[in-house]
Amino acid sequence: MKYAFGVDIGGTTVKMGLLDQNGKILEKWEIPTRTEDNGSKVLPDIAAAIRDKINEKGLNDSDIAGVGVGAPGAVDDNGVIYQAVNLGWGKFNLKETLHSMVKLPVKAGNDANVAALGESWMGGGRGFSSMLMVTLGTGVGGGLVIGDHIINGAQGSCCEIGHIHLVDNEEEECGCGNHGCFEQYASATGIVRLAKRRLAEDTKDSVLRSGEISSKRIFDEAKNGDEVAVEITKRYGYYLGKGLAICANVLNPEVIVIGGGVSKCGDILFDLLRPSFDEFLFKGCRETKFAMAELGNDAGICGAARLVLA
Amino acid sequence: MKYAFGVDIGGTTVKMGLLDQNGKILEKWEIPTRTEDNGSKVLPDIAAAIRDKINEKGLNDSDIAGVGVGAPGAVDDNGVIYQAVNLGWGKFNLKETLHSMVKLPVKAGNDANVAALGESWMGGGRGFSSMLMVTLGTGVGGGLVIGDHIINGAQGSCCEIGHIHLVDNEEEECGCGNHGCFEQYASATGIVRLAKRRLAEDTKDSVLRSGEISSKRIFDEAKNGDEVAVEITKRYGYYLGKGLAICANVLNPEVIVIGGGVSKCGDILFDLLRPSFDEFLFKGCRETKFAMAELGNDAGICGAARLVLA
């Protein structure tokens, strides 16, 4: 049996896991992300934590397939990270640098892409030959996995689907400076924006007229039968389905796996997006399936371990 | 030195080539596509032509890496073609069927994807790690090549970019039944449609007001200084750039190679599409390059040969 370390570097903590080749998480733990001195302590801390764990478990280096790392920035096929603003990192070869410290084989990828690989291996994408992972959070992120491989794109920006143009004549500006980007509608902040627009249209009664509006609350109130909330979720589903249809027409994945905060509303999301997804879908892609992400916060360490186990 | 046969099956002729492993076309010829009896004669004809050529050239089977085939239909990773209406073919395993006849290794792909592989190997995409090939003809087709590999998609429909939704509120219907598809604007028929719309807007003088309007003539008259033709090409460039930006945001290819009838207008096409391409592009994809297809009708046999030489 071979083992691997999966490392998911975040802005405040580094999630770490020891997995076996079947994808079973034997142990997981966290260490703080020390971002001082331009993040120069992050990789030494990770290397030390791994060596400690190897000693603690009495493992031999020959039992370890390697260390996989997901980092919050664009990472190319050679392991070069272009920038990780949250960590204070500029451009350098993450893979080779960590390898020189930990003395084990290292592979590295973008954190969202690595999480996608985790879902493809052990989560919602298990058993499918190709998967588009879509994360509906503060923004909209994407990751493409074909077979066992993450498709990184030329500058590590494959599946930056949050910024595909979705709607003409949008007046509000997206964070990226454009107008009408997919994530202006399909993110958790997007649905709140749609809610505020809907509420401003008339004075129809709705519990959403008082209190803070959040993605979760909109879906909860829709389930409780609030008619305005129902309308908002339908509009949300329209945009989500339209954007995913564009992605499916370009990529023709076997399955689209949806994760992130908004996905916690459950399978109703599929019912909401399906009409417009089918409307805008090219017929050659009609067999596209949907699934929910299953691994939650473990997707990152799981996919990172898979980088060195595949 | 290894050799390979590249076969490009069209509705009226089958283009065939004998190439060496460096991509040099040693010989090329055509045979008629006999579509009678549901196209049952097409593959036996191809196998016979290859065996004849091997005898004629005094080659040994051991010198031949194999036979690559591009066919006009969706072909999956196992060599199964789903349908080829122009040939009268239903679903069957093209790769295994031809192999049983020709007794050489066979690989098969969709003709547009295979032509993309040819351009990636020996044409406009040479030297780039990933390439989106876009063909601007009667419709708009696409093919994605990463490294030496065609990305087929789950149902062989990867990069069916002609039918991504591009424009809201379009009233005319696309051939696929939707409204506002990329190819309604960016194809050779699309620019003619844009021209007719522009001419109907007012009565401004233009040589395009008499005679047949074609993609070629619009670009020619724009080069001659016809102001209405110039306007039409600018509108065309706007839509082309907008659609390609969506594709680049999803795929992040290192280069986009443009072929097909419209591309004969030359490098002015890049000037026309660039403003809207840059406008709608996510900044992580800013380094996307453009190139013209170079192989013309040879792209198919070249890419088909590459299938068995890579």
Q: What is the ipTM of this complex?
A: 0.88
* A-chain residue closest to B82, CA distance: A284
pLDDT of residue A83: 85
B203 C-beta neighbours (distance < 10 Å), count: 8
Spatial neighbors of B173 by CB under 8 A, at least 6 apart, are B179
On the question of pLDDT at A80 being above 80, the answer is: yes
Spatial neighbors of B201 by CB under 8 A, at least 6 apart, are none
Q: Are B40 and B147 within one domain?
A: no
Q: Are B137 and B238 within one domain?
A: yes
pLDDT, tens digit, for every residue of B144-201?
999 989 998 888 788 889 999 999 999 999 988 899 999 999 999 999 999 999 999 9
Cross-chain residue pair A157–B279, CB shorter than 8 Å? no
Cross-chain residue pair A250–B250, CB shorter than 8 Å? yes
Least confident segment among A32-36, B258-262, B282-286, B304-308? B282-286
**Mutation site, A157, A169, A179, interface B, largest B CB count within 10 A:** A157
On the question of pLDDT at B285 being above 90, the answer is: no
Q: Which domain holds residue B175?
A: 130-293
Task: State the Cα–Cα distance between residues A191 and A125, nearest whole angstrom.
Answer: 26
- Residues of chain A with Cβ-Cβ distance to B285 below 8 Å are 153-155, 157, 160
Cross-chain residue pair B129–A157, CB shorter than 8 Å? no
Q: Are A176 and A70 within one domain?
A: no
Min distance A13 CA to chain B CA atoms (Å): 26
Q: Are A168 and A258 within one domain?
A: yes
Helix (H) or strand (E) holding B231: helix B227-251
Q: Are A104 and A149 within one domain?
A: no
Of residues A73, A88, A26, the one with CA closest to residue A302 = A26
Question: pLDDT-based confidence at A219, cuts 50/70/90?
Answer: very high
* A-chain residue closest to B245, CA distance: A164
Cross-chain residue pair A284–B155, CB shorter than 8 Å? yes
Q: Are A7 and A137 within one domain?
A: no
The arithmetic mean of pLDDT across residues B122-142, rounded, is 94
Write out the residues of chain A at the interface with chain B, using a CB-CB cutoff of 8 A: 74, 77, 129-130, 142, 146, 151-165, 167-169, 176, 178, 242, 245-247, 249-254, 279-280, 282-285, 287-288
- Residues of chain B with Cβ-Cβ distance to A249 below 8 Å are 157, 160-161, 163-164
Spatial neighbors of A97 by CB under 8 A, at least 6 apart, are A43
Task: State the Cα–Cα distance between residues A307 and A305, nearest whole angstrom.
Answer: 5
* B-chain residue closest to A82, CA distance: B284
Among the partner residues A178, A249, A280, nearest to B161 by beta-carbon distance: A249
- Residues of chain B with Cβ-Cβ distance to A178 below 8 Å are 279-280
Cross-chain residue pair A163–B249, CB shorter than 8 Å? yes
pLDDT, tens digit, for every residue of B56-81?
999 999 999 999 999 998 888 899 99
CATH of the domain at A109: 3.30.420.40
Total domains in chain A come to 2
- Residues of chain A with Cβ-Cβ distance to B130 below 8 Å are 153-154
Task: State the Cα–Cα distance between residues B73 and B87, nearest whole angstrom.
Answer: 10
On the question of pLDDT at B284 being above 80, the answer is: no
pLDDT, tens digit, for every residue of B81-93?
988 888 999 999 9
Q: Are A102 and A136 within one domain?
A: no
Of residues A134, A108, A95, A144, the one with CA closest to residue A270 = A134
* Cα angle for residues A36, A42, A48 (degrees, 5° grid): 130
Q: Are B107 and B26 within one domain?
A: yes
Min distance B267 CA to chain A CA atoms (Å): 23
On the question of pLDDT at A284 being above 80, the answer is: no
Cross-chain residue pair A283–B176, CB shorter than 8 Å? yes
Spatial neighbors of B178 by CB under 8 A, at least 6 apart, are A279, A280, B163, B165
Cross-chain residue pair A246–B146, CB shorter than 8 Å? no
Q: Are A141 and A278 within one domain?
A: yes
Q: Are A90 and A191 within one domain?
A: no
- The token pair at B255 is 């280069």
pLDDT of residue B286: 82
pLDDT, tens digit, for every residue of A188-203?
999 999 999 999 999 9
- Residues of chain A with Cβ-Cβ distance to B147 below 8 Å are none
pLDDT, tens digit, for every residue of A108-121?
999 989 999 999 99
Write out the residues of chain B at the interface with chain A, using a CB-CB cutoff of 8 A: 74, 77, 129-130, 142, 146, 151-165, 167-169, 176, 178, 242, 245-247, 249-254, 279-280, 282-285, 287-288
SS3 of residue A212 by DSSP: coil
AA identity, residue B98: L
Among the partner residues A153, A165, A285, nearest to B157 by beta-carbon distance: A285
Cross-chain residue pair B153–A253, CB shorter than 8 Å? yes
- Residues of chain A with Cβ-Cβ distance to B288 below 8 Å are 154
The arithmetic mean of pLDDT across residues B296-304, rounded, is 96
Q: Are A149 and A69 within one domain?
A: no
Helix (H) or strand (E) holding B145: strand B140-146
pLDDT, tens digit, for every residue of A27-72?
999 999 999 999 999 999 999 999 999 999 999 999 999 999 999 9
Q: Are A288 and A141 within one domain?
A: yes
Question: pLDDT-based confidence at A76, cuts 50/70/90?
Answer: confident
- Residues of chain A with Cβ-Cβ distance to B155 below 8 Å are 252, 284-285, 287
pLDDT, tens digit, for every residue of A173-190?
998 889 999 999 999 999
